Amino acid sequence: MSETVIVAHKLYKTFGEGETEIQALRNVDLEIKRGDFAAIVGPSGSGKTTLLNILCGLDNVSSGDIKVSGRSLQAMSGSELAQFRREHIGLVFQAYNLIPVLTVLENIEYVMLLQNVPVAERKDRVRKFLAELGLEGKENRFPAELSGGQQQRVAIARAMVSHPDIILADEPTANLDSETGGQLLEMMRKFNEELKMTFIFSTHDPQIMERAKRLITLTDGRIVTDELK
Amino acid sequence: MLWKLAWRNLWRNRTRTWLSSLVIAIGLVAMIFMDTMMVGMNANMVKNATDSLMGHAQVHALGFRDEQDVKLTINDLEKTLLQLEKHPDLKARSMRIVTQSMLSSAGGGEPVLSLGIDPEEERLLSKFDEAIVEGKYLDSVSSQKIILGWKLADKLDLGLGDRLVLTAADAESGEMVQELFRLSGIFKTGEEQMDASMVLVGRKTLQTMLKLEGRVHQIALRYANLSQDGVPVNPPEKPELSSKNELLLWTELMPSLYMISQMTDLSMAIMGTILFLIIALGITNTLLMGLYERMFEFGVIKSIGTTPWQAARLMLYEAVCLGLISIIVGLIFAVFVTALFANYGIDYTGIEFSGVTFQEKIYPSYKWSRLVLYPFMSMGFTILAALYPAFKLWYMLPVEALRKRKF
């Protein structure tokens, strides 16, 4: 039986107060197993990004419990959360969000440098990911010198290179054409199968929904369906 | 990596970075230049004071300075001289008779301070010989010649060759004695007091007149090897109390002048703090602008595992890089500006300040310790300026920052 990497219980998230109060999440219960390739889907404003932010400790819940890799996120300080994300969670954003003043190589290395990974191992891992993602020869380029697809590959490499337990990707294909998006999804699916890495997407993209092994549908902050394919 | 990131971030907006570093650099240049000016000015004032009459130190009998009693001559002169001449840095000494007297001429009378000197000894100690504007300097310790300041000559309407009578109390009986002199030279030192109320005659003549043969009131001393403040690096040994003599450095003889140089340090410290605080506020503003512009990026950096402390350090490193550039630019400019003025000087001649008249141009001069202190101050205030932005970055929630995305 697969190990559970995320357990969320009765999550509520409210923004604003009084008349401007918005319930972004209502009574969300969720379990994610190691090796899941899950997509959180739903219309805009349904709470997908909020849920993703809460799952990685970027945002707090208003009430409820959440444990990732066996640790309660609510009990952690800002610094502990940052270190926890560095060790256990890889993030991929919609708009790539690479650090513009760092080269491809440095962007990928960044998290490993924070982790104090030895130079030789760091270089080895970066080389491996560059090859896997078809970015060889582009190590010394800056993000502005790359296409959108290439930038997103670098972002994926940055998220995966530190061997996190979970990759959370917020609409990773939204800014890409369908062909490039499809290629990236295939790569992620490959990593998921080969390395047993857990992927959770928030998306509208039918390509992701098609490839996901599990579809979690959110509407008005509630999980309305959670189906394995 | 954080250093690399900080350095590169700094150059994302080159104009802003250069402008900010120019502000710090100009502050640094202003502080260094003002300081070198003050050091030059102090050195000038001390040099004027010690070169004109005082010397770097003086020996008197205890009580002479307060009472100006003609009987209070230096005790055991020979032993005292031997003691003083042992000092390896002693360059010159001048033994003087000093007495309050009345100078009379056909045109009237004036109270004056009479100095009995050895013209050759005095030539090495003060600049009366160079200050002669009419006639000649004294040529003997025993002549009947007298020289005096141009203001006094003007007041008494004196010309070269005029006969003058000096009246003073002798040391034995306290009776008033008189001596006839002939005016041989008029000097202009630029010092109000000396030019208006001082006369110089041969020492032996005055000793005979005051019945002080073989005795003197004052030994003025000049030393080599001085600190930048004009104080002998190896101060002469003070006589024992039993000798009933005293040796005072110029810092004790003219404490007001010494105080000025000490006050200058304090004034510069206050001025520097105010100036750098103003600059620091400007730098805080610049760093905050940079922070708000890159809010989303900082959100990304924090969300992928950069701890609040590492993020704050990133901001501090940017400030340190900015400070380093500014210090390099500032030091280059400061050295250039100071060297320029140190070469040509700034003309303050004739202006009197704290009883000392500037005789020469002021040449800015470095105190090397300040060339280290002010850059450190610049860096300190630049880091201080970065504390608030760093604090903001520390407490910034990544999720809030990620919402600030500019599309």
Instruction: Give me B207's structure tokens.
Output: 């000793």
CB proximity list for B16: less than 8 A, separation 6 or greater? B286, B289, B290
A10-61 residue pLDDT tens: 999 998 888 888 888 999 999 999 999 999 999 888 888 899 999 988 888 9
DSSP for B289-300, written as a single string = HHHHHTHHHHHH
Q: Residue B76: what pLDDT? A: 93
All residues of chain A having their beta carbon less than 8 Å from the beta carbon of residue B301 are: 99
Please list, residue by residue across A78-88, b when 16 or more beta carbons sit within 10 angstroms of its beta carbon and e when fewer do. Answer: beebbbbbbbb
B186: enclosing H helix or E strand:
strand B176-187
Give the A:B interface size as CB pairs under 8 Å.
67
Q: If you average pLDDT over every residue of chain B, what do you get?
A: 89
All residues of chain B having their beta carbon less than 8 Å from the beta carbon of residue A109 are: 1
Please list, residue by residue across B50-83, b when 16 or more beta carbons sit within 10 angstroms of its beta carbon and e when fewer do. Answer: bbbbbbbbbbbbbebbeeeebbbbbeebeebbeb
Residue of A nearest to B8 (CA): A101
How far apart (Å, rounded) are the C-alpha atoms in residues A189 and B400? Answer: 31
All residues of chain B having their beta carbon less than 8 Å from the beta carbon of residue A157 are: none
Range 146-165 of A in CB contact (< 8 A) with B: 158-159
Say if the Cβ atoms of A99 and B310 lie within 8 Å: no
All residues of chain B having their beta carbon less than 8 Å from the beta carbon of residue A49 are: none
Q: If you average pLDDT over every residue of chain A, what do you get?
A: 88
Mutate one of B304, B393, B402 to test the A interface: name it (highest A CB count within 10 A). B304
All residues of chain A having their beta carbon less than 8 Å from the beta carbon of residue B402 are: 53, 58, 93
Q: Residue B356: what pLDDT? A: 63
E strands within B234-277?
Answer: 245-249
All residues of chain A having their beta carbon less than 8 Å from the beta carbon of residue B397 are: 58-59, 78
Q: Residue B407: what pLDDT? A: 42
The answer to whether residue A195 neighbours chain B at the CB level (below 8 Å) is no
All residues of chain B having their beta carbon less than 8 Å from the beta carbon of residue A158 are: 304
Mutate one of A25, A58, A122, A162 to test the B interface: name it (highest B CB count within 10 A). A58
Q: Among partner residues B300, B308, B402, which is closest to A82 by beta-carbon distance?
A: B308
Contact in structure between B282 and B310 (CB atoms under 8 Å): no
**CA dihedral (B8, B9, B10, B12) positive or negative:** positive
Residue of A nearest to B406 (CA): A95
CB proximity list for B354: less than 8 A, separation 6 or greater? B45, B256, B257, B260
Residue ranges of chain B with per-residue pLDDT less than 50 = 406-407
In chain A, pLDDT over 90 holds for what percent of residues? Answer: 34
Terminal Cα-to-Cα distance of chain B (whole angstroms): 28
Burial class of residue A20 in the structure, from the number of CB atoms within 10 Å of its CB (0-12 exposed, 13-18 middle, 19+ buried): exposed
> Packing angle between helix B368-395 and helix B255-293, nearest 10 degrees?
30
The answer to whether residue A30 neighbours chain B at the CB level (below 8 Å) is no
Say if the Cβ atoms of B302 and A82 lie within 8 Å: yes
Distance from CA of B28 to the nearest CA of A (A): 30
Q: Residue A22: what pLDDT? A: 87
Instruction: Give me B217's structure tokens.
Output: 């009131």
Residue of B nearest to A89 (CA): B304
How far apart (Å, rounded) are the C-alpha atoms in residues A109 and A160? Answer: 11
Say if the Cβ atoms of A78 and B308 lie within 8 Å: yes
Instruction: Give me B45's structure tokens.
Output: 């004032």
Q: Among partner residues A59, A79, A111, which is closest to B304 by beta-carbon distance?
A: A111
pTM: 0.74
Q: Residue B263: what pLDDT? A: 83
Q: B145: which strand partners?
A: B182
Mutate one of A51, A92, A110 to test the B interface: name it (highest B CB count within 10 A). A110
Alpha helix segments (H runs only) across chain A: 48-55, 78-88, 104-114, 119-132, 148-160, 178-195, 206-211
A148-172 residue pLDDT tens: 888 888 988 898 888 888 999 988 8
Q: Residue B136: what pLDDT? A: 94
Say if the Cβ atoms of A101 and B8 lie within 8 Å: yes
Q: Residue B406: what pLDDT? A: 47
Distance from CA of A105 to the nearest CA of B (A): 12
DSSP for B70-101, written as a single string = TT-PPSSHHHHHHHHHT-TTEEEEEEEEEEEE
